[in-house]
Amino acid sequence: MLFANIGIIDENFDYAENQWVGVLDGRIDYIGGEEPADAAKYGELYDGTGKLLMPGMYNAHAHAPMTLLRGYAENLPLQAWLEQKCWPFEGKMNGEDNYWATLLAGAEMLRYGTVSFSDMYYYTPERAHAVADLGMKANLCTSPLAFEPKPIQEFPVFAEMEDGINNIDGMADGRIKFEGCIHAEYTNNDVTAKTVFDWAREHGTRMHVHVSETESEVNGCRERHDGMSPVQWLESLGAFDVPAIAAHCVWVDDDDIAIMVAHGVTVAHNPASNMKLASGFAPVAKMLEAGVNVALGTDGMASNNNHDMFQDMYLMAMLPKGAGLDPTAITPKQAAFAATRAGALAQGREDCGLVKQGFAADLCVLDVSGPSWCPVNDMLTNVVYAGHGSDVVLTMCDGKVVYRDGAWPTIDIDRVKAEVAERTQRIQKEL
């Protein structure tokens, strides 16, 4: 495809208008202010009038199959939300439920310009096949909850971890990665957690874990582990010996932040979920100032209700100003970077997340001709504060169009919606 006369958010997150961008063999082959001499080789000519081309979004923390729970577990604090609603519902979900729910989650993400997501859940083979069918990218992990102190190798979930590293890692022409995971400190123990971290180091995988989401979680961890915070506990057992995503990090202190900087840990910031569950406000401005790679995540649909990363990008840019009484906290560039490039780096996708020649063509196109985009004093400011996922008209992953003008070329969206609705009703009747 050759995008003609289109505005772009370039590799420095600056705006350039009337550009030509050529995509060839899955990569960005040309960027320039003039039509390339060999324009015909790019195939379809896309009229970019009134449009904006930017990097696709990278969702750094999701639980995709929880689309089945959208609107189900409402107005509850985290522990009651988990123990009384989510876990009983999830206990009724089977592999096919996870496949169809992941298809729906992926379709929603593509609709809103997200090309890749880091997903912590169960039934990994079914989720992987859904991602492959969608044409997306994903980093998948299986989420052990281990209350009995024994090595991970003695739990049934270990077979799924081994299958993941042997058969799922590298699927779909490398679009799918498999990585290590524990759910959280409060759902695990020293023995099991350490063997998971050792396994990840042995296989050279990345790590994904919930960290310091609530104040009670942190206080409980200190009581259980001689005053250590969840970050300190994870470091002591080797969780950060591999590249890691620490989801939430709402209740971290300066010592925790220093540990994360030292180990290159990515924080997956989930502002919508954290507010809905009344977990608090993560100190993202302080993290960024210290040098933490902060990416954005939607979390699951029981604690956010939509996969619109533009919403979370807006909240990331807005909330620290009010929470910290500092109007200078978080710039549009920092928020846009978190939604795109930071997530790509968190997933180990070094050549993704930027509109840059030679990078993977993971892109989204926005219609910026509407009234909410006028005037353009600063385009990136408009993207962060005035943009919505509904402005996306095309999403491309590895150079292939996976969403365009209300259509998903890789899936039957009507069947997906019907399957998810039917399966949700079945589970609710079984509870």
Mean pLDDT of 92-113: 98
Global confidence as pTM: 0.97
CATH number attached to the domain at 57-346: 3.20.20.140
Ordered by start, the domain boundaries in the chain are: 2-55+357-404, 57-346
Cβ 284 vs Cβ 257: under 8 Å: no
Does the pLDDT of residue 402 top 90, yes or no?
A: yes
Mean pLDDT of 357-384: 98
pLDDT at 73: 86
Does the pLDDT of residue 79 top 90, yes or no?
A: no
pLDDT at 21: 98
pLDDT at 345: 98
pLDDT at 349: 98
Separation of alpha carbons 180 and 34, rounded Å: 46
Does the pLDDT of residue 104 top 90, yes or no?
A: yes
Mean pLDDT of 354-379: 98
Residue 116: pLDDT band by 50, 70, 90 thresholds? very high
Burial state string for 278-306 with b = 16 or more CB within 10 A and e = fewer than 16: ebbebbbbbbbeeebbbbbbbbbbbbbbb
Per DSSP, the three-state class of 297 is coil
Separation of alpha carbons 366 and 389, rounded Å: 9
Q: What percentage of the chain exceeds 90 in pLDDT?
A: 97
Q: What is the mean pLDDT of the chain?
A: 97
Cβ 346 vs Cβ 266: under 8 Å: yes
Residue 77: pLDDT band by 50, 70, 90 thresholds? confident
Does the pLDDT of residue 218 top 90, yes or no?
A: yes
Does the pLDDT of residue 208 top 90, yes or no?
A: yes
Mean pLDDT of 21-33: 98
CATH number attached to the domain at 2-55+357-404: 2.30.40.10
In 3D space, the residue among 78, 248, 237 whose CA is nearest the CA of residue 152 turns out to be 237
pLDDT at 78: 81
Chain segment 411-421, per-residue pLDDT in tens: 999 999 999 99
Chain segment 228-245, per-residue pLDDT in tens: 999 999 999 999 999 999
Chain segment 264-293, per-residue pLDDT in tens: 999 999 999 999 999 999 999 999 999 999
DSSP category for residue 165: I
Separation of alpha carbons 53 and 2, rounded Å: 12
Residue 82: pLDDT band by 50, 70, 90 thresholds? confident
Chain segment 323-356, per-residue pLDDT in tens: 999 999 999 999 999 999 999 999 999 999 999 9
Cβ 209 vs Cβ 181: under 8 Å: yes
| Residue with more model confidence, 121 or 78 | 121
Does the pLDDT of residue 55 top 90, yes or no?
A: yes
Does the pLDDT of residue 76 top 90, yes or no?
A: no
